[in-house]
Structure 1
Amino acid sequence: MAKKQAASQPEEPRFCSCKCWAKYIFSPFILLWQAFRIYVLGCFTAYAERVGRGVFCGLCVCCNCTFNDKRFPHDHRSIGTFKGRAGPELDKDIQWRRIGDIVAAAAPQPKKGPSGKKPKSAARLFADDVEPADICQGQLGDCWLMSALACLACQPGAIQQVFQTKEWTMYGRYKLRLYDGNRKKWSTVTIDDYLPCGADGQPIFAKPNGDEAWVVLLEKAVAKFMGGKYECLDGNLMIKALEMLTGDFVCMFRLGDVRDSTSRGKPRTQQAWTRLELSRGPPPKDAQPGDDLRLVYAKDKPFDHDLMFRSIKWELRQGSTIGASNAGGGNDTQNVRGIVQGHAYALIRAEEAEDKKFLRLRNPWGNFEWTGPWGDTSPLWDQNPKVKAALDFKPVDDGSFWMEWTDFVNHFNTLEFCCRSTGFDHVVINIHEEHPVCGPCWGCLEGCFRYWLCCLGCKALCCGRKVVKFERPPQGCCGCIG
């Protein structure tokens, strides 16, 4: 029996090889179909949805009737506890306003038009490209979610995939798709665009960047998804948010974990990184998404610092997202040289220059940066022009900063990975809301240009990957970037 099994084992590589050969043989037809599906059909769908909203929702908008989500009421029930207060007394200080009204009030007043009236500023779901600078955390401890968004904002199409409603609507009804890890399936979340605001008329939680609404709407959708109130977002794991937004494999590393007895008590630079994964038992019938969340130790050996840095660099090149935090290091009212304690950061880049290892991080608050060596105001940049050129350093007050690896190890002890699966599912059309009439057509032409001439389609076909577990980086191989 054992010999028969051994003899049958080589069959799998032959099957995989045949499958790969078939993919390359039929690649012209696959590329043509995917381009038609993503861009041409995406363009027609965008126009069809606009016509549908104009026909079915236009009358409601003209009568000042907008979508009102009764399952997420506009009162204290959707907030929970805020600044130690709860119940009806919260309603005295909080007003619910539509995102369009918030943007119009905050935007610079435009000049009067030919009719003598000032045109009203309109909100947009996405303005130009999605980027980490769009994210600004409010008065809520959901840095785990904001950092996950900052990571995904660096990947084209990752945020747009979450939204089934692709652009801002006057009717105010939005559908988003979030992954329920308990039940291992995707769920559709429907919300309106009313947001809780303070006395100044601005949102008390996440803030919109200019006229973009995607951050505040996604925060509201996650609050509804995880328990029906904003309070449910106060503290969690970044890998929970990454799994919820992508459905991909997630795991985390802890520096000097209690299980690693060999490095216990040693300086951080001599400790090892222990890997943990999410594990869940069968959820109760009334469980909310995220309930019964626990971590279990992986079976592989702890990573030393060299292997950990190579893993970070490799996974970033493969399109994965990584967050960093100092778990157990205090609360977010404390900081050490600009590093907020107990706070989650997005890890954006990993580079080597002049025999030094560097990481670029971003604070989801959009400010409050590292003030130590290689910070934005550090004299080391002028003293090391080769490093400055290699990292393309430009001091910008946007919450992002560079740190050397040794400083990173001394200030952070947790890394959270979302190993992204890549392929055609991650290629999306940008319908360019800034062009109300020809935006979808422009997005179709622009997308086809990038798809064919910038090899975006070939990368999705040849370098796409499906991740089901964490893999160590290969030795001496740059690999393909999907």
Structure 2
Amino acid sequence: MNYEEDPEGSGLQFWTRDFRTAPVPRKTERPEVAPGQEWTDPNFDKPAIINVNETAHLIEWKRSYEIVPDPVLFHGDACMEDINQGTFGTCWFLSMLANLAEKPKLMKKVIDKNAFKPKTDGIFHCRLWRFGEWEDVYTDDILPVVKGPNELFGAQSKSGTNEMWVSLMEKALAGCHDSYSVAEGGMPSDAYLALTGGVPETVVMEYTNHSVLFQRIVNALKCGAFVTCSTKSGTSLSNGIVPGHAYSLISAHEITKKNGKRVFLLQMRNPWGSDEWTGKWSDKLVFYEIFDSGFLCLHIVYT
């Protein structure tokens, strides 16, 4: 396997495979578990120390019911607000997963309400598009927690403390590579492919006519397409936008100011569930009420 930095400077990584070598075994059949036993993925790496951003974290690995007293897969229906990114750099996947949660029919292709039954065999099942076909992916419900506080280290549900679907989908992603560390850093377009089987398109904003790009975003959203966006790394921003990070793009609006200047507004959601846009048109200003629906709003003015 090879990992290459994004040449556009996003701080994310491309993952490639050398097909001249033997393929990694694929877990396409449901594991067999004896009655009363719980399955543990023998190939999944479970280190006691995980390094993230050059910081070492002491980790324990626990079943879902050891983390919360009464785990459930879903609280009602899945929704975008469920997504809360943890410490792992999986925003590229979670920003797309948030979009998928708003499309129940498409969501069912990936995960349904019978995908996980707590306190039974410990198996979580979902389907991801891999190598040109839908593939059954199985992982256990053993998740990383911060040693001591017993708090989930990875992604989790923001809307329900014992709702496990977000954590388990991130574990399934990591399970495809047998490690969380390998799943860190990626392109949102790869997540589109894995979660829908559709053909993704990546557009670099600085090389595109801004007015034309905005209209393409509007048209895509009207057609029900999924749209995400990512920022470049390495530059500290004072407007609340996180460098080297991916967002779900929810809506787009154009207004004309009194002076005739066109203003393009993009509404996005941070998979962290926090850290909003703080620049012009933020929710600190009354004008933001026109577009506010609980997420940050990125203001872009093109001259």
SS of residue in 1 equivalent to 2:152: coil
* 2:47 pairs with one of 60, 76, 80: 76
**What pairs with 1:60-459 in structure 2 (closer than 5 Å)?**
60=36, 65-72=37-44, 75-76=46-47, 81-82=51-52, 84=54, 93-104=58-69, 122-163=70-111, 166-169=114-117, 170-171=119-120, 172-180=122-130, 183-199=131-147, 200-209=149-158, 210=160, 211-225=162-176, 227-257=177-207, 273=208, 304-327=209-232, 329-330=233-234, 334-353=236-255, 356-381=263-288, 388-389=289-290, 391=291, 393=292, 396=294, 400-406=295-301
Residue 12 of structure 2 is matched in structure 1 by: none
Q: Which has the higher helix share?
A: 1
Contact 2:115 2:125 in 1 (8 A): no
Distance 1:156 1:335 in 2: 35
For CA contacts below 8 A with separation 6 or more, give which structure has more relative contact order: 2
Distance 2:280 2:202 in 1: 27
Q: Which has the higher strand share?
A: 2
Contact 2:89 2:184 in 1 (8 A): yes
Distance 2:220 2:92 in 1: 20
SS of residue in 1 equivalent to 2:217: helix
Distance 1:335 1:159 in 2: 34
Residue 21 of structure 2 is matched in structure 1 by: none
Distance 1:234 1:72 in 2: 15
SS of residue in 1 equivalent to 2:157: coil
Specify every segment of 5 or more residues in structure 2 that has no aligned partner in the other structure, as ranges.
1-31, 257-261
Contact 1:165 1:174 in 2 (8 A): no
CA deviation after TM superposition for structure 1 residue 356, in Å: 4.2
Distance 2:206 2:157 in 1: 38
Alignment size in residue pairs: 262
**What pairs with 1:456-471 in structure 2 (closer than 5 Å)?**
none
Distance 1:194 1:339 in 2: 33
Contact 1:124 1:167 in 2 (8 A): no
Distance 1:218 1:207 in 2: 10
Q: Percent identity?
A: 31
SS of residue in 1 equivalent to 2:43: coil
Contact 2:193 2:200 in 1 (8 A): yes
Q: What TM-score do the two structures reach when normalised by structure 2?
A: 0.77
Q: Deviations over 1:80-114 (max 9, x none)?
A: 7545478xxx7xx321111223222xxxxxxxxxx
Specify every segment of 5 or more residues in structure 1 that has no aligned partner in the other structure, as ranges.
1-55, 105-121, 258-272, 274-303, 382-387, 411-482
The runs of 4+ residues in structure 1 deviating greater than 6 Å are none
CA deviation after TM superposition for structure 1 residue 307, in Å: 2.0
Structure 1 residues 325 and 335: CA distance shift in structure 2, 3 A: same
SS of residue in 2 equivalent to 1:309: helix
Structure 1 residues 143 and 137: CA distance shift in structure 2, 3 A: same
**What pairs with 1:28-43 in structure 2 (closer than 5 Å)?**
none
Contact 2:50 2:59 in 1 (8 A): no
